[in-house]
Amino acid sequence: MKRQLMTLGIALGLVVSSLTVMAEEKPLDIAKKSGCLACHSIEKKVVGPAWRDVSKRYKDQDVRAQLIKKVKTGGKGNWTEVTKGVPMPPYSPRVTDANIEKLVDFVLAIEK
């Protein structure tokens, strides 16, 4: 009986944890999981520019597609004064297109 209860407990635990995985992931969790936070933080320059500064620079500009492309294929040149020319690495296909879009939307929304 005890063993059966334990098995039931484990099974329930599995159901609950898979439900948690299925729940919408938060952008910062995606960023963490994808490795972005090794070089970016919201408020401070790390290796790459602070995401708040990115959001400020492009406020009211239609750059969503451009930034999605940048995260997918990497590149440099837009933040040279901040990064001394360090490039942003390419993330496609390591990170899914859907997640890259979520990350860019998240960054652009910081200063909205």
Positions in the binding site for ligand HEC (CB under 6 A): 31, 34-36, 38-40, 47-49, 54, 67, 70-71, 75-80, 83, 86-89, 91, 95, 103-104, 107
Provide, rounded to whole angstroms, the least separation between the CB of residue 5 and ligand HEC.
44
Cis peptide, bond prior to residue 90, ω within 30 of zero: no
- ∠ CA 100-38-78, rounded to 5°: 65
Nearer to ligand HEC, 9 or 35 (CB): 35
Give the separation between CA 30 and CA 24, rounded to whole angstroms: 10
Nearer to ligand HEC, 12 or 86 (CB): 86
Nearer to ligand HEC, 2 or 84 (CB): 84
Give the separation between CA 88 and CA 83, rounded to whole angstroms: 10
